């Protein structure tokens, strides 16, 4: 059995965002190993030997539109992986970077994605419970115009107050709602996301600071570890624990998988649900 052929990335055009660091960088390394032509985008410089590295702020409409012009006409898989932590005062930016910009870029690239291609996102365990606010998320998902989306967010400060969580809930809702929508299903383009648990990456320090009411990184770290690690005497994930499954999800190996929101957290949230700690 030829493993590279099974993945199906050899000589295929693959677009990946957030590839300067963390999970996306790990995914990018595997994609290169599997022979993909990788087009990588990040706000920071990308060190990997990809086919094309583009520096851009994907929280800005004009930057996304510029990037799209620099990408190939035919694309086989896209991976939307970039995000920022949810700081107070940055609620709108978090929505645009972590969800709406990713949806906007996906919609621009969809016509170029080959039949039976794939769209994969990195969401988060933070997006859990999206089913409860699905209808609200659909309101955002149904907006195509950038300025309209900004207006919607500005009109709903209470909803975006929990900024990181709401953006990831929108992402989970997008995957669930779009898998059977015309633009995806007519050409059998698969759409899925992974929801990572606590992972040590470039974002960890920001997560620590944003989790503490006083912005204290040590306090935030302790709070996060109490929630995600202590209960099962566990350990934090490494970037490849998320990046590698992401690459599998977007590959031909998962050719019959779409609309899935997959929690990769060593069973923590599954256990919470089983014990009635979550809906």
- CA dist 72 and 86 (Å) reads 32
57 binds ligand NAD, rule: CB under 6 A = yes
C-beta atoms surrounding 226 within 10 Å? 10
Q: How far is the CB of 201 from ligand NAD (least distance, A)?
A: 3
Q: Which of residues 146-185 bind ligand NAD (CB under 6 A)?
A: none
- Site mask, ligand NAD, residues 220-259, x = CB under 6 A? -------------------x--------------------
Q: Edge to edge, what strands does the sheet with 75-80 contain? A: 52-55, 37-42, 13-17, 75-80, 113-122, 190-196, 261-264
122 binds ligand NAD, rule: CB under 6 A = yes
Scanning 1-9, 67-75, 136-144, 195-203 for contacts with ligand NAD by CB under 6 A, the matching segment is 195-203
- Tokens coding 110: 């969809």
Residue number, 118 or 199, with CB nearest to ligand NAD: 199
83 binds ligand NAD, rule: CB under 6 A = yes
Q: Which of residues 36-55 bind ligand NAD (CB under 6 A)?
A: 42-44
Would you give the distance in Å from CA 200 to the centre of its chain?
Answer: 16
Ramachandran sector of residue 84 (left: φ over 0; alpha: ψ -120 to 50; beta: rest): beta
C-beta nearest to ligand NAD: residue = 22
Residue number, 120 or 258, with CB nearest to ligand NAD: 120
29 binds ligand NAD, rule: CB under 6 A = no
- Tokens coding 276: 């009635």
24 binds ligand NAD, rule: CB under 6 A = yes
- Tokens coding 182: 């015309």
201 binds ligand NAD, rule: CB under 6 A = yes
Q: What is the DSSP letter of 237?
A: B
# residues contacting ligand NAD (CB under 6 A): 27
CB-based burial label for 108 (10 Å; 0-12, 13-18, 19+): middle
Q: What is the DSSP letter of 236?
A: P
* Binds ligand NAD by CB under 6 A, chosen from 8, 12, 36, 82: 82
209 binds ligand NAD, rule: CB under 6 A = no
Total length of the chain: 279
- Tokens coding 61: 């409409």
Selection from 34, 68, 33 nearest residue 52 by Cα: 68
Q: How far is the CB of 135 from ligand NAD (least distance, A)?
A: 23
* Binds ligand NAD by CB under 6 A, chosen from 38, 53, 58, 140: 58
**Residues binding ligand NAD (CB under 6 A):** 18, 20-24, 42-44, 57-59, 81-84, 97, 122, 124, 196, 198-199, 201-204, 239
């Amino acid at each position: 059995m030829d493993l590279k052929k099974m993945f199906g990335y050899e000589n295929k055009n693959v677009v990946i965002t957030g590839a300067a660091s963390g999970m996306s960088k790990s995914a990018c390394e595997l994609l290169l190993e599997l022979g993909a032509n990788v087009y990588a985008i990040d706000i920071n410089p990308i060190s990997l030997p990809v086919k094309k590295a583009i520096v851009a702020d994907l929280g800005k409409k004009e930057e996304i539109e510029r990037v799209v012009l620099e990408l190939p006409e035919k694309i086989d898989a896209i991976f939307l992986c970039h995000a920022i932590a949810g700081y107070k005062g940055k609620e709108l930016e978090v929505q645009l970077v972590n969800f709406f910009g990713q949806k906007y870029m996906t919609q621009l690239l969809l016509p170029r994605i080959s039949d039976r291609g794939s769209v994969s996102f990195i969401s988060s365990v933070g997006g859990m419970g999206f089913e409860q606010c699905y209808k609200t998320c659909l309101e955002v998902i149904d907006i195509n115009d950038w300025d309209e989306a900004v207006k919607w967010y500005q009109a709903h400060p209470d909803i975006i107050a929990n900024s990181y969580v709401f953006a990831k809930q929108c992402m989970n809702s997008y995957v669930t709602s779009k898998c059977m929508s015309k633009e995806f299903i007519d050409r059998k383009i698969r759409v899925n996301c992974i929801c990572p648990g606590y992972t040590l990456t470039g974002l960890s320090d920001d997560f620590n600071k944003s989790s503490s009411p006083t912005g204290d990184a040590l306090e935030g770290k302790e709070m996060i570890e109490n929630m995600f690690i202590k209960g099962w005497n566990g350990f934090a994930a490494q970037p490849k624990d998320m990046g590698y499954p992401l690459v599998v999800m977007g590959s031909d190996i998962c050719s019959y998988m779409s609309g899935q929101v997959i929690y990769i957290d060593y069973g923590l949230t599954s256990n919470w649900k089983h014990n009635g700690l979550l809906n």
